[in-house]
A and B are shown apart, each in its own frame.
Chain A
Amino acid sequence: MAQPLIRFRDVSKVFRRADGRGDLMAVDRLSLEVGRGEIVAVLGKTGCGKSTMFNLIAGLIEPTSGQVTVSGHDPFRNFEFFRGKIGIVFQGDRLMPWRTALANVLLGLEILDANPARAQEVARGWLQRLGLNGHENDYPHALSGGMRQRVSIARAFAVDPELLLCDEPFSSLDEMTARDLRAEFVRLVRQNGKTAVFITHQIGEAMEIGDRVLVCHRPARIAFEARMDRAAPAGTRERIHKEILDVLALEAPPGR
């Protein structure tokens, strides 16, 4: 593997339940590495702790034990260090309703104190690249779900981050739109030499996007790992697909 950008060492995360019914272990002694320039798809059933992993990498929550590092720094404690280094595409588009499409893409650049003229140029460029020409001044409510998600992708790419985190970004879209956006996303990640962690619960999506697919069992721990070799002999993908299905089927339903 190339020089790791993300490293989890025996990471656990425990949440205290709001209703007082004890603690909930969301991540259990997880260890993994993600290399620079790699696209890793993390696959697992709903509630398996994928999003907790995601929030740990993003530095939005702190591990209960163990160590998470991104570029050798703790993303929670060295929060400021990662300004402009991590771009996130969330499950929902999370666009600010009071900002136009252009202003939403400009958000990260504004936060990074980018030169306003240069920021405008960059934001417009990303909207154009994602096929949103002519929609710069539209408010989110006037855009379709697919268009809004494109704006959120543009917003993440606009800050030129080293690492892209995607939390089931296309799960609420219809299959055709999701397929187009997936292809577009992979092209942009590779073209711009980014590292990406892509969280999904769809096997097909994980295999299509990832250089590597990690399958999580509850509480988030790696139950299976597969490298997706595009030049692999016929039948390899089908075999991996079946293996993933088998691993997912092994897991007990939530609550057990």
Chain B
Amino acid sequence: MTGNPRLTRVLQATASTLGIAALWQVASLFFPHYLFPPVPDIVARTAGIVFSWPLLSEVLVTALRIFAGLLGAFVLGAAMALAIGRSPRIEAYVTPVLVFLQGIPALSWVVIAIIWFHGIEFRIFFIMVVTTLPAFTFQILDAFRSMSKDLFEMTMSFRPRRWTLFRVLIVPTIVPGILTAWKVNLGNAARVVVVAELVGATGGVGYELLRQQQLFDMAGAIAWTLQLVLFVLVVQQTITAIEGWALRYRAVSERAI
């Protein structure tokens, strides 16, 4: 395609997106617009949200809820992962609970949170944390356990204090796992927050989707969905850029797999 691999990837992604848009536009010619609205209508509604502060603020509210939930789960998950990694006894008690939590559907948590808590924001925060906590914990724990015994012994040979050991060895070891955990959980969080807002909130993208469903407005539903997709894409790209910088020490083979 081009000599620049990054530009090639962008062109390929654009081509596939345009392909889907074209198929959708063709479908809109044969089906009623409440099922397949024309692409220009969807684009106009999407732009309408972006350029209207009251509507855009709904997207930002959802984004903040995602961030707050992920941050809470990350802090708690990292602390739990390090505690489990250091103590088999803690592992024996905590791991079964996390496995149990993993089996509970997000929708069940939504119902439980609505019954348990009054405040909308705390409900959503609780749902976000409890649904993404196991994945954060297990991913960071895996990264911690992948710590090289050789590097550990080498570092210990200098007799570091506990905090220094954490700073010079443990943090750099778990950084790749943390970044992967954020990338994976971001997608999950975007799905869960919509469900939580749909059922238990009076604002945000999920609530707006509920309104579009009541109005039978497919263009609006897709426009609001696209806001969330765009948000996830932007954050994913940001994390990828951070990853590229933080893991720049890794050798890259010239030959692709």
Contacts and interface: CB of A to CB of B under 8 A. Distances in A.
Q: Which of A83, A96, A98, A107 has the most chain B CB atoms inside 10 A of its CB?
A: A98
Nearest to A140: B249
Contact of A60 (B153, B160, B249, B251): B153
Contact of A139 (B156, B159, B249): B249
B168 to A, nearest CB: 7
A111 B166 CA distance: 11
B250 A141 contact: yes
A46 B184 CA distance: 45
Given A60-B157, A83-B158, A94-B154, A111 B249 contact: no
B158 A112 contact: yes
B12 interface: no
Contacts, number: 55
A96 B159 CA distance: 16
Interface residues of A, number: 27
Nearest to B169: A96
A159 interface: yes
A251 interface: no
A212 B172 CA distance: 41
Nearest to A110: B168
B213 interface: no
Contacts of B150: 90, 92, 94
A111 B160 contact: yes
A97 interface: yes
A141 B155 CA distance: 19
Q: Which of B157, B168, B169 has the most chain A CB atoms inside 10 A of its CB?
A: B157
Contacts of A60: 153, 156-157
A107 B159 contact: no
A98 B159 contact: no
Given A107-B168, A110-B168, A111-B164, A97 B157 contact: no
7 contacts: A60-B157, A80-B159, A84-B158, A94-B154, A140-B249, A141-B251, A142-B251
Q: Give the top 5 A-B pairs by smallest Cβ distance, nearest first.
A: A141-B251, A83-B159, A94-B154, A111-B158, A139-B249
Interface of A: 58, 60, 79-80, 82-84, 86-88, 90, 92, 94, 96-99, 107-108, 110-112, 139-142, 159
Given A86-B157, A88-B157, A141-B249, 6 more contacts: A87-B157, A94-B150, A96-B168, A99-B249, A111-B161, A141-B250
